[in-house]
Amino acid sequence: MNLDEHTYTTIKGGKTGMRKRIGILALTMLFYVFPTASFADDKMPESYAILGTTLQSSLMNVETIGGPVKVITQLGQEGWEINPEESPGFLRVNVDDSYIYGGNNLVEVDVKYFDDSTDGTFTVAYNSIETTWKESDTVHLTGTKQWLVHKFILDDAKFANESEGADFRVAIWAPSMGKSPKPITIGSISVEKLKRVTMTASSKKTGNIFDYKEKPEIDLAFTNEFTQKKKLSGTYQVLDVNERPVKNGKFSLSTDANGKKTVEKLKLDVKDKGVYTLIVDATDEEGMTQIHQDVPFSVIEQSNQTSVIPSSILGVQAHMAWGGIYDAAQLSPLLKDIGVRYTRDEYYWSEVEKTKGVYTFPESYDKYLDTEIKNGIVPLIELNFGNPMYDGGKAPHSKEAIEAYANYCKAVVAHLKGKVGYFEIWNEWNGSFGDGLGVAEYYALQKEAYKAIKEANPQATVLAGAVAASDYGWLEQLLKAGGGDYMDVISFHPYTAAGPEGAKFAETMLRVKESFKKLGFEKPMWISEVGWSAGNYGELKQAAFATQVKTLLLAHPGVVDRIFWYDLLNDGMNAEDYESNFGLLSQRGPYSAKPAYVALAANENLLSGAKFVKEYQLDDNLRLLKFHRDSDNKDILAAWTRSKQQTIGLNTGSDKLQSVDLFGNPTDMMTVHNVLTVTSTEEPVYYVGNFSDHLSLTEPLFQAENEEINVVAGDTVNVDITRSAAGSEIAGSYHVDLPAGWTLVNGGKFNKGVDADVLTIAVPVNWQRDAESIGIEAQDGKGKKIAQFKINVKKIKPIDVTVTMKPVDANHLNDWKLSIGIQNHYSNRSLPAGTLRLLQPENWASKTEPVSYPAINPGETQVIDLPVPENAIKDGISVKISVQPDAGDAFEINQVINDLRTAVRDQSPMTIDGNMTDEEWGNAPVGVIDTAAQVDGITDWRGPSDLSAEFRTKWDADYLYLAFRVTDDVHHQPYTDGSTWQADGIQIGIDPCRINGAGSCGYNELGFALNNDGSVQNYRWIAVPGKFTGVLTETKNAIQRVGDKTVYEMAIPWSEILPDGMTPHEGLDLGFSFLVNDNDGQSRRGWIHYANGIGDAKDPSEFGDLTLVDLEK
């Protein structure tokens, strides 16, 4: 049989059949004969496979990917070898659906393997009911030279053919485990479904989404697979979005045998709007059944609508054409409930025209459209993608394909006339869906498609552009080519790595509108896709961004007329995967609400029908937008911060108001002398009342001295609170919202005439989370709420050990010592004395004696300097140190030391003018990159005159100063902002916390470039937490080019690149790397680099070490 790369035949245990594959990259080999027993305990499971020259199996199919099976014989038994050198390094296993299919299964998977070495590892990866590719145990070979069996117990196996058409993998590579260093030989695989009591949760509400007027009720259905009845004792608790407990209870029940269901109804008296998790634990009398299950549910305020949704700017990408879980009948009402008026969806060309010139319209497409329309939703249809009958299925560009595409558009629009009036021509032509074609090819397609659409329905509204990645320059080219004449709306997808504020979303939309206007284009602008993935930012931040971006557009009416959030439903179940987590809803439940869904519901209920009044520019960090609602004559202030949280005193001109949180929960508050005291964060909060037209900031009544504190589990922490003069006139009490298990030890009341208070909080030893937020509410003597403020708490280790290199002294900047700091983070206990040993590098360690250190007092640091033998330091050296306290366990510290450099402290501010003079830079060591080993991607590099650079670094209390003199025979830089990496310019990596581990507090990636027109560009692609990506507005930079030399000078404020609370100091070790890009006029050739971690891969562990030194000390 001849098999091509797209299809192949598989012969499964007991039957044969064809299996469809999409995108198969390699041939899958499978063998079959009738089964014989080969299991160590002589037990023949129902589903098994014995691997050898022939495959013996029952109710199981096994495939190996990447080429023919390599059969290995060990101790007389055959097995299949999985080799780490052959991609992808796993066996794909499918259990017959007649044995296990879907549900929540308890499964034993026995894998027989030959224990050949001490280096091999393997695991089982499977789709659970919650996540994709969940990894089970990691098996480590021990070198017994025997056949062994490992039993994997999977207590949440779904086994629904969702793992690339199979149920699980036996893998020698997995993300958490990594890659096995050695091949693994597998002799057999067996699967047994174990009996147990299972639980499923459901409610009468789709997605378990309840209106706040209802009392949430969840049905727990227990199915007993045993032959005897089982008595269960259970507990449950409800956690809010911050994992704070809000309700708990107990239950007991007797379950009938043999698969019968027994239902327990839980009535959850949860009133606050928000996202919740119901955690259920149950066990039987014998302890054989152990149920632990999380059930998501939410409470919202449903939008007050009848059959027609009021005018709204909000739409979503729905993907209803995908079918399956994308069920319009269930999802459309959920959209209506939060005021979504529009959906964007597909009507695929390849499904409409399967025979040239013959158009059929899938019933499923029309059904989902009818359902949406019935629910008052207005569809926007994308007319895409390629058709295999034209141009090989790629973006249409030939005359025949363009004509065929236009005819398809005409047919679809005519078919949907009277139902659908909005259509978009293609999707992201400038990205992967355009197959490398440019503006001219899109314009040719757009022109013919527009004319065809208008012929079919003159009243249709046609969107065009639909560009990816904020490529407004591409749209300007399209308009200059005449594209504006063949669209009714221009559309684009302004995705950014930064949030709406970091990307200056509102300001950018105004600028784009104005730039289009200058080209004579004044038709509407629609954002037909935008979103932020919770896989990157977390669900709360995603909710904040969704609310921000919608509110910003409401505050700029007429700039962007519609916005479509991407997308409605998560694409998958892996909570950490980027692409799977853009949705407003989760696949759990299914259709459970994420925080963004609840937040948008609150936003719709508060601002629907409200008119924008004005924006207050009171503080660079504060966004404050005023709306007015005629229905109740109330003002609404929407407030959030652009970056870090900030406690403010806002003079409102009003003595009372309502504070409404992100999810729509109101709190009545009183002001003091008309001053509202609150902590504003990136999560939008609304203030409802009647306010003065002239708002102003003043000193807050109450404020935590430090809004972010570090805490050790098991320790106590003090929160210092300062009060203004007005605040010190009041007596009352503090009400502190603490995580479970935390206790307020002291400081619950505050007295009149006092301007400072201290809250003492005890932190439990078993505190698990890495960070918490503590809310503090001040109430006056009558119990009225007069202030709400908060602090963020970060978990740190009790002991912190830092390892860095420092120059021996100011006169020997190239001679180094190893400096180890042991810091005690406890506030109330000392660390015992101990001994420090250098373990690696071995040739250095053998010459270094152990060093004893004394007990370390709370909050103090013991510094130990070790001499560095001559020539001991090399680039990329690994240092390992052992710390052995006199009482307690020893621990080891590993630190990689790369390209050592120093930044010299300057005693006066530097002049940033693009001149790298010896007068200013003479005392800073010079670094040079000019060798072929430092060049990447430039295959025809002609030596230092083609591309090379020298650089120097300095610092002071305010700035990090950098200077580069680049030699480049041809200078070319036509790009701006985040696109400058494509041409001549510099990219710089700075890791401020390298001393605590590479990337331990994030890192920065910055870019600087000189445009062909002489303008200077700067941009930040990656930022430490709390800082913006985008243009660095506070950075000073100057670039000059003379002949073949380009000099870059910059002063980067420490406040831009260090985490909040961190300051520069002598001895600080920064991770530092940079590269110089080269483009001689065509495209990016490559780059030359100092250190690594920017160009080939983003990896701060490959940065070099840059130590701050002060020559005056």
What is the domain-level CATH number for residue 907? 2.60.40.1190
Q: Is the pLDDT of residue 18 over 60?
A: no
Same domain as 619, residue 525: no
Q: Note whether residue 306 is domain-resident.
A: no
Q: Is the pLDDT of residue 1064 over 70?
A: yes
Same domain as 587, residue 521: yes
What is the average pLDDT value for the chain, to the nearest integer? 90
CATH of the domain at 354: 3.20.20.80
Q: What is the pLDDT of residues 1023-1034, one digit of tens each?
A: 887 777 778 889
- The percent of residues above 90 in pLDDT, for the chain, comes to 71
Q: Note whether residue 537 is domain-resident.
A: no
CATH of the domain at 669: 2.60.40.1180
The amino acid occupying position 1001 is: C
Whole-angstrom distance, CA of residue 820 vs CA of residue 457: 75
Same domain as 1016, residue 934: yes
Same domain as 1084, residue 941: yes
pLDDT-wise least confident of 340-349, 734-743, 978-987: 978-987
CATH of the domain at 90: 2.60.120.260
Helix or strand holding residue 245 (H, E): strand 245-255
Q: What is the pLDDT of residues 436-465, one digit of tens each?
A: 899 999 999 999 999 999 999 999 999 999
Q: Which residues pair with 255 in a beta bridge?
A: 230
Contact yes or no for 657/695 (Cβ under 8 A)? no
Q: Is the pLDDT of residue 132 over 80?
A: no
Kind of pairing, strands 812-824 and 834-840? unpaired
Same domain as 250, residue 136: no
The two structure tokens encoding residue 297: 């549910």
Same domain as 189, residue 104: yes
Instruction: Give pLDDT, residue 31.
Output: 28
Same domain as 1092, residue 1009: yes
* Confidence band for 3, pLDDT divided at 50, 70 and 90: very low
Residue (of 975, 964, 956) closest to 1016 by Cα position = 975
Q: Is the pLDDT of residue 17 over 70?
A: no
Whole-angstrom distance, CA of residue 1001 vs CA of residue 1068: 15
Whole-angstrom distance, CA of residue 95 vs CA of residue 167: 6
Instruction: Give pLDDT, residue 188.
Output: 97
Instruction: Give pLDDT, residue 1067.
Output: 83
Instruction: Give pLDDT, residue 872.
Output: 62
pTM above 0.85, yes or no: no
Instruction: Give pLDDT, residue 432.
Output: 87
Same domain as 464, residue 428: yes
Angle at which helix 472-480 crosses helix 505-518, to 10 degrees, equals: 10
Same domain as 330, residue 225: no
Q: What is the pLDDT of residues 792-819, one digit of tens each?
A: 999 988 988 888 777 776 666 667 788 8
Contact yes or no for 1050/1037 (Cβ under 8 A)? yes
Q: Is the pLDDT of residue 263 over 80?
A: yes
Q: Note whether residue 592 is domain-resident.
A: yes
Instruction: Give pLDDT, residue 873.
Output: 63
Contact yes or no for 828/813 (Cβ under 8 A)? no
Same domain as 1020, residue 874: no
pLDDT (average), residues 612-626: 97
More confident residue, 872 or 379: 379
Domain end call among 137, 171, 193:
193
Q: Note whether residue 479 is domain-resident.
A: no
Same domain as 518, residue 450: yes
Q: Is the pLDDT of residue 781 over 60?
A: yes
Instruction: Give pLDDT, residue 87.
Output: 64
Instruction: Give pLDDT, residue 810.
Output: 62
- The percent of residues above 70 in pLDDT, for the chain, comes to 94
Q: Is the pLDDT of residue 43 over 80?
A: no
Number of domains in the chain: 7
Q: What is the pLDDT of residues 304-315, one digit of tens each?
A: 655 445 568 999
Residue 603 CA, distance from chain mean position: 23
Contact yes or no for 78/72 (Cβ under 8 A)? yes
Kind of pairing, strands 900-905 and 1104-1109? parallel
Q: What is the pLDDT of residues 587-604, one digit of tens each?
A: 988 899 999 999 999 999
Considering 4-13, 25-34, 711-720, the range whose residues carry the highest mean pLDDT is 711-720
Residue 56 buriedness (CB in 10 A; 0-12 / 13-18 / 19+) = buried
Domain end call among 866, 897, 928:
897
Q: What is the pLDDT of residues 337-373, one digit of tens each?
A: 999 999 999 999 999 999 999 999 999 999 999 999 9
Q: Is the pLDDT of residue 29 over 60?
A: no
pLDDT-wise least confident of 392-396, 733-737, 903-907: 903-907
* Confidence band for 876, pLDDT divided at 50, 70 and 90: low
Instruction: Give, rounded to a whole angstrom, the gap between the first and last alpha carbons of the chain.
Output: 79
pLDDT (average), residues 390-402: 97
CATH of the domain at 713: 2.60.40.10
Q: Is the pLDDT of residue 1043 over 80?
A: yes
Q: What residue has token string 């190239």? A: 814
Residue (of 818, 863, 862, 821) closest to 838 by Cα position = 818
Q: Is the pLDDT of residue 288 over 90?
A: no
Contact yes or no for 593/570 (Cβ under 8 A)? no
More confident residue, 432 or 311: 432
Residue (of 415, 419, 404) closest to 456 by Cα position = 415
Q: What is the pLDDT of residues 72-89, one digit of tens each?
A: 999 999 999 998 887 678
Q: Helix-strand-coil percent breakdown of the chain, rounded to 5?
A: 15, 40, 45
Q: What is the pLDDT of residues 99-118, one digit of tens each?
A: 999 888 999 999 999 999 88
Whole-angstrom distance, CA of residue 692 vs CA of residue 635: 10
Q: Note whether residue 38 is domain-resident.
A: yes
* Core vs surface per residue 252-266: b (16+ CB within 10 A) or e: eeebeeeeeebebeb
Instruction: Give pLDDT, residue 813.
Output: 60
CATH of the domain at 269: 2.60.40.2550
Instruction: Give pLDDT, residue 36.
Output: 36
Domain end call among 849, 869, 897:
897
Q: Is the pLDDT of residue 979 over 90?
A: no
Which residue range(s) make up the domain with 283? 197-300
Same domain as 670, residue 624: yes
Q: What is the pLDDT of residues 634-670, one digit of tens each?
A: 999 999 999 889 999 999 999 999 999 999 999 999 9
